[in-house]
């Protein structure tokens, strides 16, 4: 019996062709008006007799897997695995693969773009020029703040956090503080990074960058007390997961000047509703979750995820496994 693979996110044609050479591939193509819930329901039906699945952006729940007795592996086209119940997958003997390496540099570029664009008010002033308001030399009303020589605090110094530290220290002469469960000695040697507890990082940093995965321990990690602990001149950057920040508290802190601004690539609910108060704030740069969204990186992620899946189905996947303790079916 041929392997059946379900694809639930668009893949480049060359990647699809490679999968089709080795398995029967079913591609879910939801209608434009179809809700995420309807897509999830269709995915659950498609998984019933599938051996593997590849995709992203859909929450895969235990209920969706109850009848998927043949399913051996899921490959997510992302580094984050918060759309899955890892203990449940492990109990069922389903391997979960992800793509932790190929998106590191592109995502770090996005984070630093948020640092620069918030500090120098790039988006706001570009719109100001387009609106025809530039009639002479600019004044203090249009000034931003320096980035070089400032202190950046990175919460989570893993792959992306380390790449961000490299850009900050070597490219902009920034002082790097970091909060992490474990010391990152390589970053300390190479970039002069100094490990501190979160309260010190918040109080000392000019830019606070969140680079932790979403877990029960990190959900709402940054709330009203943490925002009050930051400098009034500080900027919060979040390109990890939206739910790490209490958006209601953040909105209030931005409105009353508790902090100076925010650069956000992720939100608790995506897409961000058009009536979100964050979109009306001049001191907010909001992006549509573009962390790894370059042609090169998204193609590399898709190829990596496809190879992960094929290797997992063949019983030879030894890296990029999010639940390495699983006993495969």
Distances (CA, A) of 270 to 163, 219, 257: 26, 16, 26
What is the C-alpha to C-alpha distance for residues 303 and 306, in angstroms, rounded to an integer?
Answer: 5
Nearest to 272 by CA among 234, 281, 40: 281
CA dihedral sign, ordered 106, 244, 148, 195: negative
Whether 21 sits among the annotated catalytic residues: the reply is no
Other beta carbons within 10 angstroms of residue 102's beta carbon come to 21
Q: Which of 121, 167, 195, 241 is catalytic?
A: 241
Whether 289 sits among the annotated catalytic residues: the reply is yes
Whether 182 sits among the annotated catalytic residues: the reply is no
**Both tokens of residue 89?**
């997958």
Sheet with 4-7, edge to edge strand ranges: 24-27, 4-7, 52-55, 73-76, 95-97
Q: Which of 270, 282, 296, 329 is catalytic?
A: 270
CA dihedral sign, ordered 103, 43, 20, 315: positive
Nearest to 187 by CA among 170, 209, 207: 170
Beta-bridge partners for 53: 6, 74
Q: Which of 167, 175, 289, 298 is catalytic?
A: 289
> What is the three-class DSSP state of 271?
coil
**Neighbouring C-alpha atoms within 13 Å toward the C-beta of 292:** 18
Nearest to 293 by CA among 56, 6, 93: 56
The residues assigned a catalytic role are 241, 270, 289
């Amino acid at each position: 019996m041929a392997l059946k693979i379900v694809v639930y996110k668009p893949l480049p044609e060359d990647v699809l062709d490679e999968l089709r050479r080795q398995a029967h591939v079913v591609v879910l193509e939801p209608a434009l008006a179809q809700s995420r819930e309807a897509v999830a329901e269709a995915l659950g039906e498609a998984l019933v007799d599938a051996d593997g699945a590849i995709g992203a952006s859909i929450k895969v729940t235990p209920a969706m897997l109850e009848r998927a007795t043949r399913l051996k592996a899921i490959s997510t086209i992302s580094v984050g695995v918060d759309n899955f119940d890892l203990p449940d997958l492990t109990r069922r003997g389903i391997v979960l693969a992800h793509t932790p390496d190929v998106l590191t540099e592109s995502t770090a570029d996005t984070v630093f773009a948020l640092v620069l664009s918030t500090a120098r008010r790039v988006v706001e002033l570009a719109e100001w020029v387009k609106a025809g308001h530039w009639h002479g030399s600019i004044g203090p009303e249009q000034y931003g703040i320096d980035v070089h020589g400032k202190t950046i605090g990175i919460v989570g110094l893993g792959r992306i956090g380390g790449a961000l530290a490299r850009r900050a220290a070597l490219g902009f002469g920034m002082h790097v503080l970091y909060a992490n469960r474990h010391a990152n000695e390589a970053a300390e040697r190479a970039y002069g990074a100094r490990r501190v507890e979160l309260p010190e990082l918040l109080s000392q940093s000019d830019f606070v960058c969140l680079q932790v995965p979403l877990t029960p321990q990190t959900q709402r990690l940054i709330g009203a007390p943490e925002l009050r602990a930051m400098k009034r001149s500080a900027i919060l950057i979040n390109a990890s997961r939206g739910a790490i920040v209490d958006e209601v508290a953040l909105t209030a802190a931005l409105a009353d000047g508790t902090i100076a601004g925010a650069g956000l690539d992720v939100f608790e609910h995506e897409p961000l509703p058009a009536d979100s108060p964050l979109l009306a704030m001049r001191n907010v740069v909001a992006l549509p979750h573009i962390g790894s969204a370059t042609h090169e990186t998204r193609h590399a992620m898709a190829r990596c995820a496809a190879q992960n899946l094929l290797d997992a189905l063949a019983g030879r996947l030894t890296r990029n496994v999010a639940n390495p303790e699983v006993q495969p079916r």
